[in-house]
Amino acid sequence: MLFRLDAERAHALALSGLDWLQRLHLARLLVPAPPALPVRAFGLDLPNPVGLAAGLDKNAAHVDGLAALGFGFIEVGTVTPRAQPGNPRPRLFRLPAQQALINRMGFNNGGIDALLRNLDRARYRGVLGINIGRNKDTPNAQAADDYLHGLRRVHVHASYITVNISSPNTRGLRDLQAHAALDALIGQLREAQERLGAQAGTRKPMLLKIAPDLDERDMDDMADVLQRRGIDGLICTNTTLARAGVAGAAHAQESGGLSGVPLRASADRVLRGMRARLPQVPVIGVGGIDTGAAAAEKIAAGATLVQLYTGLIYRGPVLIHECVQALRARAEAGDAPRAD
């Protein structure tokens, strides 16, 4: 029924339905609780290593309903300092035969104030990541101001903070991944992170979410900056501008970021590349996980944790249980996720 609706409308309807089920204590009927598989990452203890990727709940309006599905951790956002509508509709397209999505949402969100109000109402007390970005009309020369504002505002609410400079749907954002720009941005954010941690008496890990379209030199430059600046972790990866695996499909020509199964190979390439360059930096693997086996492949490629989004759209909540079960079986065979 949902796939007969416009993709964005179906997204909103599904989340509203989940909220309703959670309030009636019926959400667990959708999927059995996943088995326990405790893991430690970024100094945080998680009940299992399967999380929700940012983008599905940008305004943190559905955290309790999503938590009832059994995620080991949840990441909300991307949130910007000021509310913005994002790009014109239609801006979300399904490619069912390829188990993929193309989106050009453009950081549509209600702004940091709205997100924090929603979190104040939420009952969830598990591991929560908050993904921050810059507003569309903020030039890159002032981007650090937006990220610093976001870091300061969400610090008390977040278990960890993710810096998103890799969305392809905000003009010029990926330019912040270049060596000099990245060095300047991460340098300022790391100073603010340590200062905020000292003031609050608790240090919050800071992660960087990167693109799957990086070449070897890009990864070398990025690793140099992140090693020197002491980043706490990476998320590999965001969506791709490439169209490998979807050529000729309906909507394949739409602009925006491609996610789902066709993203898996490039996301895994960057995951392996960055893990090799930064062996001590924990990585969250995301992109193309549609089965438990695919989640296990991310761990084998060097991820400590994994996140779901597009696979969840096509497979439903059962995918969470399947992924945890596959990783548990892998751990019982003697190949557990590494603790970072």
pLDDT single digits (tens) 234-285: 999 999 999 988 988 989 999 999 999 999 999 999 999 999 999 999 999 9
Task: Give the torsion sign (CA, 105, 183, 288, 329).
Answer: negative
Rounded-to-integer distance, Cα 270 and Cα 279, Å: 13
Q: Got the DSSP string for 264-292?
A: HHHHHHHHHHHHHH-TTS-EEEESS--SH
In a domain, 11, yes or no: no
Q: What is the pLDDT of residue 5?
A: 77
pLDDT single digits (tens) 67-76: 999 999 999 9
Count up the domains in the chain and report the number: 1
C-alpha of 339 from chain center: 20
Radius of gyration of the chain (CA): 18
Tokens of 319: 């995918």
Q: Which residues of the chain have pLDDT under 50?
A: none
Q: What is the pLDDT of residue 294?
A: 97
Q: What is the pLDDT of residue 334?
A: 78
In a domain, 292, yes or no: yes
Q: CB of 177 within 8 A of CB of 166? A: yes
In a domain, 278, yes or no: yes
The one-letter amino acid code at 213 reads D
Helix, strand, or coil (residue 158): coil
In a domain, 105, yes or no: yes
In a domain, 14, yes or no: no
Q: What is the CATH number of the domain that holds 52?
A: 3.20.20.70
In a domain, 210, yes or no: yes
Tokens of 147: 């990220």
User: How are strands ordered across the β-sheet holding 100-103?
Assistant: 92-95, 100-103, 257-260
User: Which residue's structure tokens are 């490629």?
Assistant: 301
The residues annotated with a catalytic role in the active site are 167
> The domain containing residue 296 runs over which residues?
31-332
Most distant CA pair in the chain, distance: 54
User: Which residue's structure tokens are 């499909």?
Assistant: 249
In a domain, 215, yes or no: yes
In a domain, 15, yes or no: no
Angle between helices 179-200 and 216-229 (to 10 degrees): 30
Q: Return the bridge partners of 44, or none.
A: 41
